[in-house]
Chain A
Amino acid sequence: MLHRASHFWARVEIFLAAALAASITGLILLNVVTRAAGNAIYWVDEAAIYAMVWMSFLAASAAIHYRSAISVTLINEVLPDHARRWLTRFVDLVLFVFACLMVWICLRWFMPWQLMQAGWDVKAFQGQTFNFIYAEPTNTIGIRKVWIWLVMPLFTLGALLHATANLFHPGRAAQVEAAE
């Protein structure tokens, strides 16, 4: 069940990442065209950069599910099968610990409880915590930057889901899936 949820979410992440990759290309081309026409649109560059950051973090979370991130496999390759399985489990565990730490770090950054206690009043929240995350603007897009930063908790939850599923679903299944 957990593994299927992880698999489903990884596919959603990859789909979104691919759509964002397409939009990056479109935005940069739009920039070339409008600038050549002497009528550049000022928010395009920033939007393209954020699309790229979102694409990277979504696909990076999916890479945990597919166990496809770049690593140094020097020792892994010379170990006998049995030991290699243990090493893979160790890697799964390390990634799970990382995902848990990221949950804690995102909570420290976004402080949702404190915001709730302040009655969702951003000014009061800032007065109490000196955390200005909800006030920071984007340069040109005209929305608050916290919306863009939301990719970090999204990445964190995705990573947590995939890492937990990998813990209960060891072995090469995911790699085979990716190959298919």
Chain B
Amino acid sequence: MTPILFLILLFASVPIAFVLALTALWYIYDSGNLVLYDSYAQQIFSGVENYGLLAIPLFILTGELMNEGGMTQRLVRAARVFVGGFRGGLAYINLLANMFMAAIIGSAASQIAVMSRAMVPAMTKEGYDPGFSAATTAAGGLLAPVIPPSMLFVIYGVLAQLPIGDLFIAGIIPGLIMAAAFFVVVALIGLAQDFPAGEWMTLTQAARALRDALPAFLIPLAIVGGILFGIATPTESAAVASLIAFAVGWLIYREIDPRDLGRLFVRTATNSSLVIFMIAAANVFGWVVVYEELPQKLAAFISTVTSDPFTFLLIVNACLLFVGMLIDGIAALILVTPILLPIAVNTYGINPFQFGVVISLNLVLGLLTPPVGVGLYIASAMSGVRPFTIFTALWPFLLAVAGVLILLSYFPILSTALI
């Protein structure tokens, strides 16, 4: 009965946090373990009483501040210095600027929103196919949750009880591989289509573009550097990054006003609460998972199919691609981590960092696949290109990500080398 109730509520579009909380309430009733009701509210509370989660509002705030503070255009111009002169220059600029942004923003959805607005009109104006422009931008957004900082890694780290700083570092090599794969995809498409010619900047223009973007580069430096050298926790780096973003936007670029801060904090509070409340509810839902021994049962079933970790990861990838198509990536991560992680680590001996990188990247792919591809709709809304048109231009990128996923599943060293 519990699974049926869960599915009915979920597909009746009851908010996911309440689906989790109500399923747990029903399960307690069903199992007769009524004493659990006494600690139910306390359990929800303690689910988010966690230092690591503080990074979520802070990273959201940094993204908002950066958005308002005029850093996006400057990063795009800085990217132009490096790749602007190649044939198809703007497509490469798009990807490179997405890499810079990914080192500041931790969420694919917000990065796709920002970049679609900035890049797609510019690309179509220079004669690129609109579908291709929007698809390149949307694919570039997938770098956000892999290149640190990453909201998904914060959530996975809290659920898996792993150090979030190490998870961030684990994402660096996979993020670079993914970016390289996207550059190859764009180059291959360029062989088939005739991209507009690019133009190199003059030396003075290049120097000015780099100087303008320099303050913006402080942010990734503060985040990654702080964590890499053990100076600050990810939470503290996020706070410092938000302070830098505010100071640069206010004092240097002069595009942000302290009076805007109230509005930004409202958006920060509402957006981060959506995620944190879901994690709170997942904590009581965890009772269902634990008492029903879901991981053990699933493990017993899967281990009759294969004993090979790589095959297991392939099966997980296939299942999660399907899950990611139906459910929001963060919600899906909250749902599947408590079930799949014990199997991956205990039954198959998979490194938890590798597992986190693989499932996070996998679930975020769901942002760009119909029917529930939020990222697709955001890119469409921001760029004015129809979702279907974007999707048809997107498949080479999706194929590339699938390839990267297989690579990451086969070689654990790609995720664990830097830790």
Contacts and interface: CB of A to CB of B under 8 A. Distances in A.
Question: What is the predominant secondary structure among interface residues of chain A facing chain B?
Answer: helix
A75 B12 CA distance: 7
A87 B272 CA distance: 27
Contact of A69 (B238, B240, B274): B274
Contacts of A53: 45, 48-49, 276
B217 interface: no
Given A32-B239, A68-B270, A74 B12 contact: no
Contacts of B398: none
B266 A149 contact: no
B197 to A, nearest CB: 42
B58 interface: yes
B119 to A, nearest CB: 26
A94 B17 contact: no
A56 B272 contact: yes
Nearest to B238: A28
Query: Which size class do A's interface residues fall under?
Result: 35 or more
A94 B268 contact: no
Interface stretch (A100-108, A114-122, A166-174): A100-108
A91 B14 contact: yes
Contact of A21 (B45, B272, B330, B372): B272
Nearest to A78: B371
B54 A17 contact: no
A72 interface: yes
Given A25-B58, A75-B12, A131-B38, 15 more contacts: A17-B273, A18-B262, A21-B57, A22-B261, A22-B265, A25-B61, A28-B239, A49-B51, A60-B17, A63-B274, A69-B18, A73-B372, A74-B326, A98-B18, A108-B37
Interface of B: 9-19, 21-22, 25, 37-42, 44-45, 48-51, 53-54, 57-58, 61, 232, 235-236, 238-240, 242-243, 261-262, 265-266, 268-270, 272-274, 276-278, 280, 326-328, 330-331, 371-372
